[in-house]
Amino acid sequence: MNFVQPIRDPEKIEAIKRFLKEQNKRNYMLFLIGINTGLRISDILKLKVGDVKGTHISIREKKTGKQKRIRITPSLRRELNWYIEGKSDDEYLIKSRNGRNKPIGRSMAYKILRKVAERFHLDEIGTHTLRKTFGYHFYQQTKDVAMLQEIFNHSSPTITLKYIGVNQDSMDRAMTKFKI
């Protein structure tokens, strides 16, 4: 079974960002929003320009129906500012080229990530990769599993650690040292 994993290597993340920024600004923003907010792909795709103009993104999560408020990081703010310049508040951020004002679909988001995975030799990539990448790096920087659990609306710290692959990292390290 293939399990979607976070992108752990910060240098690879930077390389992906550079590549996407050169190739396609919309896909770059999809990636950036995902790794900087931890939002699910279904919530990213429904964002409009007006949703990201303030200091926070306020949404009702599609999956849980819960209200969520996420602070926009300074680096994401800088990138959003040039991206949304001249766009109207009701325009979708991750807009499809088909139709007047429609977001890309989940399957197109998956295709974008698959192309990135092929280009950068990544396995186990899916639409949850962006959310898991955010969670993995948030945890590595803060070690605050309780905060991450709340951000992700998980029911326990164990679920959160398993979700972001930290338990897998620990098991991998233990197995590397193990011998009989």
Q: What is the CATH number of the domain that holds 18?
A: 1.10.443.10
Q: What is the pTM of this model?
A: 0.92
- Catalytic residue (choose from 28, 83, 136, 163): 163
Residue 18 falls in the annotated catalytic set: no
Query: Active-site residue among 68, 131, 132, 137?
Result: 131
Interval 114-126 mean pLDDT: 93
The band of 178, judged by pLDDT with boundaries at 50, 70 and 90, is: confident
Q: What is the mean pLDDT of residues 109-125?
A: 94
Report the residue count for the chain: 180
Q: Which member of 48, 95, 128, 137 is catalytic?
A: 128
Inside any domain, residue 32: yes
pLDDT digits (tens, 9 = 90+) for 149-170: 999 999 999 999 999 988 777 7
Distance CA 70, CA 58 (A): 7
Please check whether residue 30 lies inside any domain of the structure: yes
Q: Is 121 a catalytic residue?
A: no
In a domain, 76, yes or no: yes
Question: Which whole number is the average pLDDT over 65-84?
Answer: 95
The answer to whether 7 touches 124, Cβ cutoff 8 Å, is no
Query: Which residues make Cβ contacts (< 8 Å) with residue 76, sequence separation at least 6?
Result: 32, 33, 36, 37
What integer pLDDT is reported at residue 64 of this predicted model?
A: 87
Average pLDDT of the chain to the nearest whole number: 93
- In percent, the amount of the chain with pLDDT more than 90 equals 79
For residue 179, being part of any structural domain is answered with no
128 is catalytic: yes
d(CA 124, CA 126): 7
* Candidates 12, 17, 87, 154; catalytic one: 154
Which is the catalytic residue, given 26, 28, 40, 137? 40
| Domain enclosing residue 120, as ranges | 10-127
Q: Is residue 178 part of a domain?
A: no
Q: How many domains does the chain have?
A: 1
Whether 131 is catalytic: yes
Q: What is the mean pLDDT of residues 174-179?
A: 87
Judge whether residue 23 has pLDDT over 50.
Answer: yes
Output the CA torsion 153→156→169→135 (10° steps): 20
- Annotated active-site residue 63? The verdict is yes
In three-state secondary structure terms, 43 is: helix
Q: Does residue 144 form part of some domain?
A: no
Q: Does 1 have pLDDT greater than 70?
A: no
**Residue 33 domain-assigned (yes or no):** yes
Please indicate whether residue 163 is annotated as part of the active site: yes
d(CA 59, CA 28): 21
**Is residue 4 assigned to a domain?**
no
